[in-house]
Structure 1
Amino acid sequence: MKKFVLFIVIQIIVLQGIAAQSGGGDFLRSVGKIYSVVAVIAVIFIGIFIFLFRLDRKLTKLENHIKNE
């Protein structure tokens, strides 16, 4: 339990340090590349969603096939 609490505290400290550095987003926004970054992240999330949806459908079909046998 102590290790878990220590891990959480360290993560909070690190995230505060990362959040304090907002210069990267401003630079990307000023150059116009922020839209490219957002588009790539959106494509990745859409791909993951489609993959999980198709996997769920295949598993449902397999479960129904096993139940019917």
Structure 2
Amino acid sequence: MHKYLILILLILSSLVTSAQQEVEMADTMRSEGKIYVVVAILLLILIGLVGYLVQLDRKVSKLEKRLSEKK
């Protein structure tokens, strides 16, 4: 029990120290305006994935409907 308490305290202390560090890359990208490009690309990828999943769901639904009609 004592070991687990020490482990939890060490993990919490490392989280506190890492939370106080600044992320230089994000600040640099934000100051240069490049962060918006990154966000736009991520949104484009997510929209593409959602569109693909919707299309795939429609195809699977059609196949399930055909399969149920044959039985």
SS at match of 1:57: helix
- Partners in 2 of 1:48 and 1:26 — Cα distance? 29
1:67 aligns with 2:64: no
> TM-score, structure 1 length as denominator?
0.70
Q: Higher Cα Rg: structure 1 or 2? A: 2
When the two chains are superposed, the root-mean-square deviation of aligned CA atoms in Å is 2.4
**Correspondence for 1:31:** 32
Show structure 2 runs of 5+ residues with no match. Answer: 1-13
The runs of 4+ residues in structure 1 deviating greater than 3 Å are: none
1:12-51 matches, within 5 Å, as 20-51=21-52
Q: Give the number of aligned pairs.
A: 57
Identity of aligned residues (%): 39
> TM-score, structure 2 length as denominator?
0.68
